[in-house]
Structure 1
């Protein structure tokens, strides 16, 4: 009889711990992050702090349950979701080349559906690091709490076979994730608050028909055009969102804060063009299309109609002590193409060129 109880106990523990990892922990962490974010902390910091609650939960879980004596049965219900998230993230980073506007990250967020609330925060704030930060920290802290609890209670493992390969895989994926993050932050974009302007905006602040805390510009007089049915679906660049959100609020009649969602989005310029060509949106506010975007439209039997609303210019700024005062268009292109890497090549001092660009 005693020899049969152990497998049954292991099976129950595995099922309960798997449900906790897949359902319970994501819910608890997301409730915590929505609570912490009310303290006016950044969404990224709030997500990290919220994930830490799994540490005491893991400790209590060790005290509550009859723990299996083997490493696989004890820790794999937690490590498998962690490995799953890390594998998907690494694949998304590889396919999307670190570009968070790539559609592959939409699929990533769908495939980690237990963290739907986190994904929504990431979409509205533009901080996609949240989507991997929360499961990463959460699952690691839960496993750590479980390990601390078992050690304190003296519930040692009798069978540790397979521990090194599993931990090695987790370590390799963590290192890969860190390397991909470093590669993205140092090569794709440069985000240094001391040297660049932070252009991140919260779309919640500019949501149409928001009754409190709205930052949209209201018209000084009633709009001369009203749309009370068949509202066009609009999309576009993040920087243009306050403009077309104001237009939606002024022109769209019969909608409110809750019902306007299907008619306004902010996928950013590349994805907005794809959505327009795919028929997922009717109108976009963005820079004029590239040759590739025009080609994509033509391949789908479409011709893009462009109506200019405003003009913008790129301004390149150098340090005031830099003796180089003028650069040609060709030189600027060569700098951002990586062909010119030192100011000495354009008549300046022997300094490395660090080409900053918008996030």
Structure 2
């Protein structure tokens, strides 16, 4: 009975100490520190009770030393391993399925003209390529003015319109394998390969950053984003969030969204991302930011339409920039600071139908299709 009373008094005293630590100690201001502190305190409490109850004294000498060690080491190792898994889990390169946007198919997901197009192409139709994020509007154009047929989005040998992603589309344009691409503006390296480039602005879009829905951060400034992607800001508590390391996903060099990041960074060098924080597919960035295993500290970037319409984005929220929403009104008025244009781009094509095609895209019908698809027209 005496040992039970002693253990009870020890538990009461230790509980008061724990409350004091929980309320005032700086050790628990950090989320990981909070967990580690309580693991240690609980381990000490359990070990102390085992000592006062005489349990440890009854064990063999080696076991009497090993048991307290295991009581502390096992939960610490388990939590530490869990954190390492969460923060460094391998990324899958998810991509959106564009099949539903292929023109002339049943259930065509992109926008369609309600009236007959005032312009059509025939015969030697222009060969098209472009960014994944712009494929729906490309498909809308093709359904409006091209001959009816099969247009597989991933087979250049069989289709005059594909979406091979921004970098490859610029490469094909440089080699004049296509007549026209639809993309954001080129990077410096892409521009060097285009000797006869002509760019026509056809619409506006927002370059957006997103986090998991559970992240308390709602808005960042351009300077804060530059700090994150230069590596100067490494913890969410530096921008009003939780005390968690920032995992800042990037895209490969030459992708449209990575070029968008470079434009935002201006002359500020972008940090080199770890291998597991660079994702080939833009859908993969969104998947990782919305995935429960990384929700506490991930940030990624994309374009508004892709992030909100083309992928399952239920797990993410778009951040405001300088407290301005990246919505259609913010894009139209130019108040959203990362608003940019996307283009119809040529490189010395000799197809006579390309020029009138681009003129039609910038006409009322073409701009209506851009608006109906979900992008923001230039007019």
The structure with the largest strand share of the pair is 2
The structure with the largest helix share of the pair is 1
Structure with more contact order per residue of length (Cα contacts < 8 Å, sep ≥ 6): 2
Normalised by the size of structure 2, how large is the TM-score?
A: 0.37
Normalised by the size of structure 1, how large is the TM-score?
A: 0.39
Rg larger in structure: 2
